[in-house]
Each structure stands twice: as structure tokens, then as C-alpha cells.
Amino acid sequence: MSALTEAKTFTGTKLVYQADLPFDEVLRRFHAQVGHADIPTLARLAVETPDEQAYAREIEARFVGKSGFMLFSEIDHGGWIARFGIRRHAIRLIYGNPLIAITMIREDISAGLFVPVEMLVLDTPDGGTTLSYVQPSSLIAMDRENSALRTAAEALDAKVAALVSTILDS
């Protein structure tokens, strides 16, 4: 028999950026900053490499983009919401880096619920773009007493903010 053992309410911080850039340009800039990988390949590589250092070297060499991140999945909501009369470009990007994730998961394995991170890119009626995400530390470091976890999560915040800045200000 299974039973619910915990229900925790928490608040995340959603950050929303408006840009005059066209939707396709924002996506192009995102893709120029990230590498590409899939989870099964990363898991297989973890088995095939002899140790942490070799795994890290392979990840860095093969998958990590200029931003320090890699794209795991791109969900095109715009592709299916049109069926329901919503004519918008809407793409959810799931990206991260296992070498960054481990800095938090080592401190609290439940941080794995919130990494990799996500970003939503939407077109706007005026031809611009909205880019939004939930600040990682607001989800990962709910337990403010774990300073090592908070520090690692805030480092991820800074990396995500730098990626957004590069995309929108290039």
C-alpha cells in the first residue's frame, strides 16, 4: 500500500522578459548558445566512462554549448495549440548540464525535481518575443538553511541569467 507522506507548498519566482526581437531570432540565439544532448546518451556515457573526471571531460567536449548548457528537449506548443484556435508561437525549452546539476543534487537529491531547467519563448502580437522561466533557486533551495544547496542554486540562477542576457542583448 502506498500513502502520501508529505505535501509542501512553496513559491517560485517567475521572471518574464520582453524583447523587440522576432521570435525566430530569439530561438536562433538560444540555439547558438547551447549544445544538444539527450538523456539516454548521457546515461550511457556515464556507464561507459571510467570515472567522474572522464565523464566530465566527455560532457564538456561533446555536448556543452558556449553558455555552459545543453538542450535536452524542445516542446513546440504552437504546433498543437493551433488545433484549438490559438495562433501563437510557443516553445518550451528544457535545458541544463549534468555537471551543474550534480552540484545541487549532491546537497539534496530532491533538487533533481527541478533540474534541468525550463524556459518558455512566446511571440507577441507586436512582433516581439516574451521569454520566461522560473528562477531555479526559488524552487531548488526552498530549504534556506542548506547554504551549500542555496549557493549552488544561486550559481545556476546566474548562469541562466547570463544566457538570457546573451540571447536578448546580443
pLDDT bracket for residue 153 (50, 70, 90): very high
**Which domains, and CATH codes, for the chain?**
15-169 (3.30.310.70)
**Whole-number pLDDT of residue 12:** 94
* Cis bond before residue 22 (omega within 30° of 0): no
Average confidence (pLDDT) over 18-42: 98
User: What is the length of the chain?
Assistant: 170
Instruction: Convert the pLDDT of each residue in 39-93 to its tens digit.
Output: 999 999 999 999 999 999 999 999 999 999 999 999 999 999 999 999 999 999 9
Identify the CA nearest to 24 among candidates 128, 133, 153: 128
Average confidence (pLDDT) over 6-13: 90
Angle formed at CA 148 by CA 142 and CA 154, multiple of 5 degrees: 65
Question: Is the predicted pLDDT of residue 29 greater than 90, yes or no?
Answer: yes
Q: What is the mean pLDDT of the chain?
A: 96
Q: What is the DSSP letter of 106?
A: T
Angle formed at CA 152 by CA 37 and CA 19, multiple of 5 degrees: 65
Question: Is the predicted pLDDT of residue 99 greater than 80, yes or no?
Answer: yes
**Whole-number pLDDT of residue 115:** 97
CB 117 within 8 A of CB 95: yes
DSSP labels, 149-166: HHHHHHHHHHHHHHHHHH
Strand order in the sheet with 117-123: 14-19, 129-134, 117-123, 90-96, 70-76, 35-36
